[in-house]
């Protein structure tokens, strides 16, 4: 209904904003240094048009289609300001700019190196506007009424199928990085378990007791590479369980298996996930545990059963035991849940 001439007209200036921002970010990544907004734009245009015209046209088309979707979303929404969408937009915008920065960092957490104030404002406006509109679009899609005839919870067999599909899509990355990669923190934990280094708590002790036996088992079976493989295989299995459970939750919430399959393909085709899963490091055991914690937190916030609360508390302990900073995050989440579930005066007393 909203995809009319007015939507297309309003999307054109937003297309220009996002396209200029994208070209300037490309210029920074291609070695442009100094000169300001117009100099970076000129550099990006010349480089694109001289190297690959089709790539430039594809970028223009993508910016236009995204602008069309974002404009249509904002016109459709009755409530234009939505705080969760704003918070997500800030989070995604900052991470996107960090990734696009030539130094992979921002000055004072807000400024791209080599960019003046006008150019930084342009990038922030483009990123915040795009991520906010896309967040609203996602919320709207997830809030649609359930499809007729659906609503059944996915079975264990369906979850195994999602996990198998994700694993198959991950195999090329795992084969290229076989048997996996191991980081210095994990090296220290394994050496501590083997008695080569004294035990200390700079890394989570629980994971020292996980990585150490797994590596020793693999080493006994086939050497050091086998030890790394066993550690990576356990991480992959944990990630597959968490991701397939997330597909199950989305499928149940939407009342449609299509949503579960869409999330399954996202986890399978995004190359970051297999790269993380086969990298033996505490972060990549903590991440799937925290995803499960967040899913059960949502269940409990919407009522849930006693067994959901028990699983939530177990996951809270595991999250805190696998990442020191998670103690504060998990604690805040549990306090917020108590505030929501119980009478506020009882909580304060």
Q: Could you tell me the pTM of the whole model?
A: 0.71
Structure tokens at 244: 């397939």
Burial class (CB in 10 A: 0-12, 13-18, 19+), 180: buried
Structure tokens at 329: 């995050």
Cβ atoms of residues 108 and 167 within 8 Å: no
Q: Per DSSP, which regions of the chain are E strands?
A: 181-182, 279-280
The CA-based angle 201-207-209, given to 5 degrees, is 95
Cα distance between residue 327 and residue 321, in whole Å:
8
Cα distance between residue 161 and residue 114, in whole Å:
48
Q: Is 180 helix (H, G, I), strand (E, B) or coil?
A: coil
Under DSSP, the state recorded for 111 is B
Count of alpha carbons within 13 angstroms of residue 20, beta-carbon side:
20
> How do the pLDDT tens digits run along the chain, 349 residues long?
556 778 888 889 999 999 999 888 888 877 776 677 888 888 888 877 777 788 888 888 999 999 988 888 888 877 778 888 888 899 899 888 888 887 777 777 788 887 888 888 999 999 999 999 988 888 877 666 655 444 556 688 888 999 999 999 999 999 998 988 888 889 999 999 998 888 887 888 899 999 999 999 999 998 889 999 999 999 999 999 999 999 998 888 776 788 889 899 999 998 889 999 999 999 999 999 999 999 999 888 887 788 989 999 999 999 999 988 888 989 998 998 888 877 644 443 3
Under DSSP, the state recorded for 124 is H
Cβ atoms of residues 166 and 244 within 8 Å: yes
């Amino acid at each position: 209904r909203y995809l009319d001439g007015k939507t297309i007209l309003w999307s054109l200036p937003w297309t220009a904003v996002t396209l200029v921002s994208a070209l300037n970010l490309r210029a920074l990544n291609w070695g442009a240094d100094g000169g300001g907004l117009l100099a970076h734009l000129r550099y990006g245009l010349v480089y694109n048009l001289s190297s690959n015209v089709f790539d430039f046209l594809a970028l223009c088309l993508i910016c236009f289609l995204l602008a069309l979707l974002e404009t249509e979303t904002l016109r459709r929404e009755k409530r234009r300001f939505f705080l969760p969408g704003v918070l997500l937009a800030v989070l995604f915008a900052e991470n996107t700019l960090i990734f696009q920065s030539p130094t992979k960092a921002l000055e004072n957490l807000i400024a791209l190196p080599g960019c003046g104030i006008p150019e930084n404002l342009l990038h922030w406006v483009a990123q915040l506007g795009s991520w906010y509109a896309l967040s609203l679009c996602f919320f709207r899609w997830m809030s649609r009424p359930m499809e007729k005839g659906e609503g059944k919870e996915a079975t264990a067999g369906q979850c195994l199928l999602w996990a198998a599909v994700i694993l198959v899509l991950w195999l090329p990355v795992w084969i290229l990085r076989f048997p996996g990669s191991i980081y210095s923190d994990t090296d220290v934990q394994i050496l501590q378990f083997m008695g080569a280094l004294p035990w200390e708590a700079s890394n989570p002790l629980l994971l020292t007791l996980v990585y150490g036996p797994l590596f020793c088992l693999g080493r006994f079976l086939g050497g050091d590479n086998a030890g790394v493989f066993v550690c990576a295989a356990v991480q992959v299995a944990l990630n597959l369980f968490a991701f397939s459970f997330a597909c199950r939750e989305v499928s149940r919430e939407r009342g449609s298996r299509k949503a579960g399959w869409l999330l399954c393909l996202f986890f399978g085709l995004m190359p970051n996930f297999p790269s993380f899963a086969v990298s033996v490091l505490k972060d990549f055991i903590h991440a799937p545990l925290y995803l499960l914690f967040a899913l059960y937190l949502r269940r409990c916030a919407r009522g849930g059963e006693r067994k959901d609360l028990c699983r939530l508390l177990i996951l809270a302990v595991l999250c805190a035991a696998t990442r020191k900073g998670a103690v504060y995050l998990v604690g805040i989440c549990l306090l917020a849940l108590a505030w929501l579930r119980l009478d506020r005066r009882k909580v304060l007393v």
